Structure 1
């Protein structure tokens, strides 16, 4: 099973704003582009990153491209991120414990 790189997907404020827009429902490429003060090709590059990471899906209806969240993949990425953060905190707590125990000698 593919695991999206949630850090890549969320690493840019434009991509985060696109995801927040899609939270309220499907949007056309035109609607997404209109929400930003950057060029259509620049928005398209951000959409491509989100598509590559499978966080969003694209449907083509005639001449329109419609984007929506892939909630299953977003949930999978969220769980992976929680696991990563838990591992990081666990490591830090073990390091602190080791440091404290050495200081008690």
Structure 2
């Protein structure tokens, strides 16, 4: 990996962390339908909940960043990490988080 690649990775991670800090916090889960749309509820650390739709201003950028365009490079990274020894702990943590949410 070049120094430029390392800088690129750190910059992307930093920007994702900043965006997450501005986004509706919590563990987002679907809970059926709200009118005709899926009801997405953020479960906060203090036990409270917030409908993500009610916090669109904070959530829109997060939804756009994690659009389907992210799937191919993210799944490629997971497959690449699976072929390394030792397996990257961050990749394992992400895979577990994804599998808790993927249908």
Pairwise same-fold verdict (TM > 0.5): no
Q: Which has the higher helix share?
A: 1
Give the TM-score of the pair, scaled to structure 1: 0.31
